[in-house]
Amino acid sequence: MSEDPRNLPEEPQDQDNPEEPQVHPLDQPPGAQSQPPAQPRIEPQRVAIRLPQVTPYVTYGLLGFTIIIFLLQMITEFAFDPRLCPWFEPGSVFSTGDLPACYGLKDNGLILNGQLWRLITPVFLHAGLLHIGFNMYALYILGPELERHYGSWKFLAMYLVSGFAGVVASFVLTEAPSLGASTAVFGLFAAQGVFFYQNQRVFGPRARAAFFSIVRLAVINFLIGLTPGIDNWGHFGGALGGVMIAWVGGPIYQLVGEAPDLSLKNQRDDGDFILAMIATFILAALLAGGWIFISNP
């Protein structure tokens, strides 16, 4: 008995592409079966990251304190007899009435005679408006961001120890009297460069661009420091101190959370920073002490 062809079951067809012929697996070319299906392309997303929020009280405090000291320098220079300075000598750096500079600038002979405070007090003294203007502008630009990432007390410690390291380098390597916050400022420059170098993975192209910009600025300032009257050894010592502190104890961030709600976590703790600070301070102090010992047989 014959069947009506209209009642026969239909052959199953590919629902996605019914007109495409079916190929038996044995008829496919070698390797075709092992090819993975094409993966959808994932476009990179730009997400906002919450940065540490710290009001830069230390930066503002350093700015205010240094400016007050400079005003005292100006007032005493015009209001007091230069001979009030115990080390007054006509034609020398002690030939003006600037009493803060008289008791605080870096003078190798007086340091060798026991006035060790002169290894840190020059950081807060300046020789003129242009001098203090440049240094305070640099502190105003660099300070808030570094204080945000380091925290206030760490930033203050780094500023002071970098300045101390710079004055020690100047004390050992040059006889010229000197003063100025540039030893500490160069420490901040160096610490900023190390920060961006060590956090390129998190901040990406912005960190690399900032790092090379800081390197260029540092090179330009070191070249300017070759001119007479500028203590480049102090700059070098301050920068070296900043590098040592930041390399060992500076923040290294990792991303935590899920996009878009990402935040930063510092992989280093306070112990790393304290170790870096103590090591840098001790090395600078040993260098100064050794030079004093050699110079005073």
Predicted TM-score (pTM) above 0.85: no
Please tell me the distance from the alpha carbon of residue 175 to that of residue 180, in angstroms, as a whole number. Answer: 16
Please tell me the predicted confidence (pLDDT) of residue 7: 52
Q: pLDDT digit string (tens) for 201-221?
A: 887 778 788 888 888 877 887
CATH fold for domain 52-295: Rhomboid-like fold (1.20.1540)
Q: pLDDT digit string (tens) for 239-267?
A: 999 999 999 999 998 887 766 667 777 78
Query: Annotated catalytic residue: which of 95, 182, 263, 295?
Result: 182
Query: Annotated catalytic residue: which of 2, 126, 235, 263?
Result: 235
Please tell me the distance from the alpha carbon of residue 135 to that of residue 58, in angstroms, as a whole number. Answer: 16
Beta strand residue intervals within 140-272, DSSP E: 253-258, 261-266
Residue 137 has pLDDT above 60, yes or no: yes
- 18 C-beta neighbours (distance < 10 Å), count: 7
Mean pLDDT rounded to a whole number for the chain: 84
User: What are the structure tokens assigned to 277, written together?
Assistant: 């600070």
- The secondary structure element, H or E, covering residue 50 is strand 49-50
Assess whether 235 carries a catalytic annotation.
Answer: yes
- For residues 214 and 146, is the Cβ–Cβ distance under 8 A? no
User: What are the structure tokens assigned to 56, written together?
Assistant: 């830069």
Assess whether 92 carries a catalytic annotation.
Answer: no
